[in-house]
Chain A
Amino acid sequence: MGDILRREERTALRLRGLYAAMGYRPYKMGKFEEYDFYAANKRFLQSGGVLTFTDTTGRLMALKPDVTLSIARGAAAGEGTLKVYYDESVYRAPDPQAGFQEITQAGLECIGAVDAYAMGEVLYLAAESLRAISPVFALDVSDMGYVQSLLPELGLAGEGASAALRSLGARNVPELRALLDASGAPAGPADNLCRLAAAYAPLSELLPQLSSAAVNGGMRAACASLEGVAQALRGFGCLDDVRLDLSITADMEYYNGLVFKGYVQGAPGAVLSGGRYDALMRKLGRPAGAIGFAVYLNMLEHLDGGDDAEDVDVQLLCDGTEDPCELAARVRELRGAGRSVRVCRRAGGGEGAERDA
């Protein structure tokens, strides 16, 4: 059956098996939700645009642009720890000029008690998800708590802080340096941030540098959290798969701690994105931990390169004069021998023929 599945379908199957084996339960999402919910949390979606329509009762509804928001909303009304996985389509416009797209994604969420082990487990599953797609992958982490606690030390707030985050996200160290100089940032923390902004290395290698650059309780707490995650990853045997990259940033209104992105060779951008979003849960009325990630399956479409020239073993080329009984018998014979067959009319006429594709 593997042969007839597209790469993203094969991957989705593997991921479901992977997540279920770690105790995550399937989550079935409805396709519609009230638009007001998304309007109130628009920035969580990162890329704008929601498809809306008026339902039969006059309410403004939306085709779901995101899975995490729906799961978080449900979990906000519940208790205990929820561990779920999904494989769904969502609809949004990541590029406004390209219009709306159907985005297929698989992923998981863990909401409730989120400790170092839980974060490590989610990162381990993220690493295994990437490995299921390609043996050559990169899983990079950062911590929004570390960055969020550092910004006030640098005299950055409001638009200055946003500009610094943009420079950090673009690895634009000269621009970051200029912003820090303009804000009158103290030399020590400013130098450390510029050095760390340019760094890219295994988490275990960079974490001591991150810790030694911590100048307040928030930064030290973020380092301690990352250290706990590293311990869990060591236990899972995948610590070396994870790199630290401070250029990974996310909206601080929703994300408050660990954030991460995954890449596979051949895909032009991140195919996996996730992070800790306790801040969203607080906004939804439940002070709980929350972490999850999504794998963008539609980005895997072009990983295999071009389409195969032939997708069947044998082509039977006909000219329309063949005896249908004989033709059908030949097809049956080939199928009986386990070969795939396509019967098609010879282009431009001519006599019928059989050829191995």
Chain B
Amino acid sequence: MLDIALPKGRLGERAHAILAAAGRGCPEILEPGRRLVFENAAAGVRFFWVKPSDVPIYVERGAADLGIAGKDILLEHSPDVYELLDLGIGRCSMCVAAPKGFRDSGERTLRVATKFPNIARRHYAGRGRPIDIIKLNGSIELAPLLGLSDVIVDLVETGSTLRENDLQVLERFLGISARLIANKASCKFKYRDIMALAGDAAGAAEGVCAK
């Protein structure tokens, strides 16, 4: 039996669709309700819904053998897990954005508002640009509009939220998508099961993404 942590929400539903197409789904999971744990003994899988940012914690600590997590969360928290597969869903970009007309003169410390302080710090450290990180938990777009920050570092999918708030993308610096991750110890003792599931999911992901 493989325990799989799915991120609550649309990404988790799409990831489950891939696993279902690979013959590793659990039909009950699609029924409305508040249950968090779903098992398909015949397929050898047990799913549980967790907050997206918690998926790597469940996997790293061995509560789940496998999980689906965005590359953004993996880069931000650097969990000690295996990253077995790019599922090709939830595609977006990590971007630097600012109010239209903004120009970084480089003369002052750049104030950066973000939910991803580690990613932002690494990005600017690579360029030797001094920054002041302002860690926020939501509505990041508001920060430069109110003068809290000069720029934001955030995920951008279609860019419509930025446009509606008169912000523009200055730079797309990371491609993001959902990844299948695995607990390292689980891989030692359930190697064949885990690699078989990853192989099945790879085939199914290609089919789903091609549609």
Contact = CB atoms under 8 A, between A and B. Distances in A.
Interface of A: 136, 138, 140, 170-172, 174-175, 200, 247, 263, 265, 267-270
A140 B188 CA distance: 9
B82 A247 contact: yes
Contacts of B83: 170-172, 175
B209 to A, nearest CB: 14
Contacts of A268: 60-63, 183, 185
B184 interface: yes
B62 A269 contact: yes
A263 B62 contact: no
B86 interface: yes
B102 interface: no
A263 B188 contact: yes
Interface of B: 60-63, 80-86, 182-185, 187-189, 191
Secondary structure at chain B's binding surface: helix, strand, loop or mixed? Answer: mixed
Contacts of A175: 83
Nearest to A166: B78
A38 B81 CA distance: 28
A170 B71 CA distance: 13
A269 B85 CA distance: 20
Contact of A138 (B82, B84, B183, B189): B189
A267 B62 contact: yes
Given A174-B86, A270-B184, A265 B189 contact: yes
B18 to A, nearest CB: 16
A263 B80 contact: no
A226 B62 CA distance: 31
Query: Which 3 A-B residue pairings sit nearest by Cβ, starting from the closest?
Result: A268-B62, A138-B188, A172-B83
B185 A267 contact: yes
B181 to A, nearest CB: 9
A172 B82 CA distance: 7
A175 B75 CA distance: 13
A131 to B, nearest CB: 15
B189 A171 contact: no
A170 B189 contact: no
Contacts of B187: 171, 200
Contacts of B84: 171-172
A268 B183 CA distance: 7
Nearest to A245: B188
A200 B85 CA distance: 17
Nearest to A271: B185
A200 B62 CA distance: 20
Contacts of A265: 185, 189
Contacts of B80: 269
Nearest to B84: A171
Nearest to A138: B188
B65 to A, nearest CB: 10
Nearest to B190: A265
B15 to A, nearest CB: 17
Nearest to B181: A170
A94 to B, nearest CB: 10
Contact of B82 (A136, A140, A171): A171
B128 to A, nearest CB: 14
